[in-house]
Copies of this chain bind each other. A is one copy, B any other.
Amino acid sequence: MNELDFDIGGDKLREECGVFGIYDLDGGDVASTIYYGLFALQHRGQESCGIAVSDTEGPKGKVSAYKGMGLCNEVFETEHLEQMHGNIGVGHVRYSTAGSSTRENAQPLVLNYVKGTLGLAHNGNLVNAPQLRKELEYTGAIFQTTIDSEVIAYHIARARIGTPNVESAVAAAMKKLSGAYSLVIMSPRKLIGARDPYGFKPLCIGRRDNAYILASETCALETIGAEFVRDVEPGEIVAITREGIASNREMCLPDPAGEARCVFEYIYFSRPDSAFDGVGVYRARLQAGRFLAMDSPVEADLVVGVPESGNAAALGYAMESGIPYGTAFVKNSYVGRTFIKPKQSSRESAVRVKLNVLKEAVAGKRVIMIDDSIVRGTTSALIVNMLRDAGAREVHVKVSAPPFLHPCYFGTDIPDEDQLIAHGRSVEEIRQLIGADSLSYLRMERLKEMAGGKPICTACFSGIYPIEPPQEDIRGSYER
C-alpha cells in the first residue's frame, strides 16, 4: 500500500516536498515527533530530509539542526534526535532529481537575520524566482543554495526591518512571490504557516494536547496521534504563539474561484488516508475509478490496479461496473534507493525485479488494468506485455487522469514534452504503443468532480495556467 513510494519503472511524476512544523506550548521536546511526522510524509520526498528545533524559552538564536541526503531512516540516528532539544521545530523531506540533489540544498533552511533566527521549510515552486534572485543580487545579496527557500528568506528578512512582526514580514514577502508555496517557518517564539493565494499545495493544522502542528498532509497528524483542526486556507498566514492561532488573510484571493489546487495531489501525490482541503484522497480515487467505469465501460472478467496507486481507482471501477476486483501483481518491496539496476545488456529487467504477475489470477481472463497516469509509456507497455505473457486474454488499460500534455511550473517534475507519450499522439496511437486492447483516460470534466468541486489547477492536462508561466522554461536554469 503506497501511493507512496512505488514507482514501478521510474515512470512516475514526483512531488517536490513535504513540510512539518510543531510548537509544544507545554515545553516538551519535539524532535522525535517531527521525525515521525516526516516518516508519514516521506512519499513526498526521498532525496534529503532535515529537522531544526529551538527552545521558545531558551536563548534566542540557539537552533539545533540536522540534515542529510536520503530517507529519514537513513539520515537520522537515535543520538541525533536525543541531542536536539527544543519545543518548537520544523522538518522537511525533499525529492530526488538528477541535477540539484546536493546536501547544500537540503531543508529546512536555518539562518540568522536581524531579529534572530529563522528555520524555513517550503513545498512548491516560484515562477519568478530567477527574476527575484537577480533583483536581490543587484542589491548585494549572496546565494549559497539553489532553492527557492533562500529567495523567500531574503524577502522576509528585508521586509522584517520595517514591519512589526514576522507574520507581517511574511505577508509583505508574499506580495513579491509568484507561484506555488506552502511554508512552515520557525522564529524564536513563533511557528508560522502560509499557503500561496492559489492554494496549489496542501497545508493543514493539527493539535495534540497543547502542541500545535502544521503539516503537508493530514496523514502526518494521524501518525503522531494529533487531531485535525483545519486546513490553512489559500493565501492565509497563520501564526502560532503562546496566545494560540492568529490568522492573516490579507493575501487571500478576493474570489476563491480563482484558487488552483494541484489536482495531482488527489490523483497520485497525497497518501490515500489524507484529506486535502476537506476532500478525502481515497474517496477521490475511488470516484475516479467509478467515472472510468461510467464513461468508458468494457466487458471483462477482472479489474486490477497497478500497485500501489492504481488500486483505489480499480476498486472504484469494480464497484461501479460489478466486474470482480482482483490482485494481479506482486511487488518486491525490498528494492530501495541503492538497488543496482540491471544493465541493458543483461537478461534481467528492472521491471521484472520489482514486479511479478500472479499467473493464477489472470490466466485466461479479460483484464482491466487501472493506472493513475501514463507518463512516458514504456513501463505501461512492459506491464501490459507481462499480463499477456501470464495468459491474460485481453488487457484493457484505464487511466485515472487525463493525458499529460504540458509542463508544470508549480513544483511537479514533468519530463520534457517530447518525452510524454501523449504529446502529439492520439489515444489510439498510444494504445498501439503500449499494446493494450483498449485504452481510456479520465475525462477532463471529471477532474473537478473528483476533487469535490473545489477549484483546481489542471495545467498539465489543459495547458491553462492559473499564473502566467515564465517566458522561458526556468526549471533547472539556476542549478550549479
Q: Which residues of A contact B (CB under 8 A)?
A: 1-10, 32-33, 35-36, 39-40, 42-43, 46, 59-66, 71-74, 76-78, 80-81, 83-84, 103-104, 109-114, 116-118, 133, 137-144, 150, 153-154, 157-158, 160-161, 208, 219, 222-225, 271-273, 280, 282-283, 307-308, 311-312, 315, 319, 324-327, 329-340, 342-343, 346-349, 352-353, 356-361, 478, 480
Q: How far is the CA of A338 from the CA of B74 in the complex (A)?
A: 7
Q: How far is the CA of A362 from the CA of B103 in the complex (A)?
A: 42
Q: Is the CB of A66 within 8 A of B161?
A: no
Q: How far is the CA of A305 from the CA of B72 in the complex (A)?
A: 28
Report which of B72, B334, B360 forms a contact with A72, defined as CB distance below 8 A.
B334
Q: Is the CB of B340 within 8 A of A1?
A: no
Using known A-B contacts A40-B353, A143-B111, A352-B223, determine if residue A273 contacts B61 with beta carbons closer than 8 Å: no
Q: Is the CB of A333 within 8 A of B78?
A: no
Using known A-B contacts A6-B64, A273-B358, determine if residue A144 contacts B144 with beta carbons closer than 8 Å: yes
Q: Is the CB of A222 within 8 A of B340?
A: no
Q: How far is the CA of A186 from the CA of B36 in the complex (A)?
A: 42
Q: Which of A42, A72, A142, A158 has the most CB of B within 10 A?
A: A142
A20 to chain B, nearest CB (A): 13
Q: Is the CB of A141 within 8 A of B117?
A: no
21 contacts between A and B (CB under 8 A): A1-B331, A2-B331, A3-B66, A9-B117, A32-B348, A33-B346, A73-B336, A112-B133, A114-B138, A114-B140, A137-B157, A139-B161, A141-B157, A144-B144, A219-B356, A223-B356, A225-B348, A225-B349, A271-B330, A273-B356, A282-B327
Q: Is the CB of A144 within 8 A of B109?
A: yes
Nearest 3 CB-CB pairings of A with B: A9-B61, A140-B158, A114-B137
Chain B residues whose C-beta falls within 8 Å of the C-beta of A357 in the assembled complex: 273
Q: Is the CB of B117 within 8 A of A219?
A: no
Q: How far is the CA of A340 from the CA of B157 in the complex (A)?
A: 36
